[in-house]
Structures are given as structure tokens and as C-alpha cells.
Homo-oligomer: A and B are copies of this chain.
Amino acid sequence: MIAGHVFIATSLDGYIAKLDGGIEWLLCRDDPTEDHGYNDFIKGMDGMIMGRGTYEKALTFDSWTYTVPVVVLSKSLTVDDVPRKQRGKVRILDKSPSDAMALLESEGWRNVYIDGGIIIQSFLREKLISDMVITAVPVLLGEGRRLFGSLSEEISLTHRTTRFFPSGLVQSTYAVSK
């Protein structure tokens, strides 16, 4: 069975980016000498799924940082929107979350990194997330792009573990009840 996994940082008030997409508040509180577990996490993933917003943000970075195949769920982007140097690393799919997961499962994927607020919210609503690693950054932003959104019903979580770092980041892992 294929499973979706979340690994993301939020402000203590639940934002993953400012309204303009900015994450300076996160970068300035990150301590690159601390191992927050991302490398171990990504090694266990067959690939990742993101939305158009996260993809277009990633395109603005100096280099392409993802080491696993990337699937972008979008109704508006096409393969022509993918820069030549990313061909073969990035695929655009105009599919629902469940249809995308079914396709990737048929291709042998088992563990998928689900990234970006809108996409995580969709996958949670469709019960496609099995666990989440949420890292709380010690700041209140007051506004921005939310990690979590509306739901048709409450989602119960099971706390697995929590650890914290000298930088002040607090990282909790939850399993999502089906």
C-alpha cells in the first residue's frame, strides 16, 4: 500500500509561509548544525508530491534541492512549464490526490513525501496521509499561509514522539487515524 508522509515546519501559530510565500522567519531561526532528520526522512521516500504553489516557489531557489522524483499536481501547468534541466526529475499530473496516489502505486511507489499547505490539506481530507512530522518554530507570525485548513470531520492523531533542539525547534511525530 502506498502512504503519504508529511515533514514540515510551521510557526507556533500554524503558518508555513508568509502571505507572499516568504520563509525568512524560518531560515533565520534554523541552525544548520542541527540534524532535524530531513535527510533520514527523504531517504525513505520513493518520491514527492507538491502543488503548483510549492513548485513555483522551488523554481525560484538557486538550485534544485530535491533528491527524489517530484510529481506536481496541477490543472494548469503542462510539461512545457518544466525547465529542460528538470525533465525526468519533475512530472506534471492533472489528477486528484487519490488518482495520483493510485497511479504512483501502480508504478511501485510505496512512500510519498507530501509537501505544501494546500496539497497536505487535500491529502488529509482524502485520508491519504499516514503520518506527519511537524516542527514548530518559536515565532508568532500573525498571518500567512496556513498548514492546516477546513475538514469535513475531526481527524484524530496518535502522538509518536517529540524532541526539541537548542535552536528552539520542537518536532513532533503523529500517526493519522484512518
**Given the complex, which residues of B lie within 8 Å of A64, measured CB to CB?**
none
Q: State the A residues within 8 Å of B (CB).
A: 12-14, 25, 124, 134, 136, 138-143, 147-159, 161-162, 164, 168-170, 172, 174
CA A57 – CA B142 in complex, angstroms? 26
Q: A12-B174, A14-B13 are in contact. Are A151 and B140 (CB under 8 A)?
A: yes
Q: A142-B150, A142-B151, A170-B172 are in contact. Are A12 and B157 (CB under 8 A)?
A: yes
Residue on B with the closest CB to A124? B140
Q: What number of copies of this chain does the assembly contain?
A: 2
Query: From residue A9, how far is it (CB to closest CB) to chain B in Å?
Result: 14
CA A153 – CA B161 in complex, angstroms? 32
CA A148 – CA B143 in complex, angstroms? 10
Q: Are A139 and B156 in contact (CB under 8 A)?
A: yes
CA A154 – CA B143 in complex, angstroms? 9
**Given the complex, which residues of B lie within 8 Å of A139, measured CB to CB?**
154-157
Q: A12-B134, A12-B174, A14-B13 are in contact. Are A142 and B158 (CB under 8 A)?
A: no
Residue on B with the closest CB to A138? B157
Residue on B with the closest CB to A14? B14
CA A143 – CA B84 in complex, angstroms? 42
Return the contact of A162 from the options B141, B150, B162 (Cβ within 8 A): B162
Return the contact of A168 from the options B124, B141, B143, B158 (Cβ within 8 A): B158
Q: Are B164 and A168 in contact (CB under 8 A)?
A: no
Residue on B with the closest CB to A28? B156
Query: From residue A174, how far is it (CB to closest CB) to chain B in Å?
Result: 6
Query: From residue A88, how far is it (CB to closest CB) to chain B in Å?
Result: 36
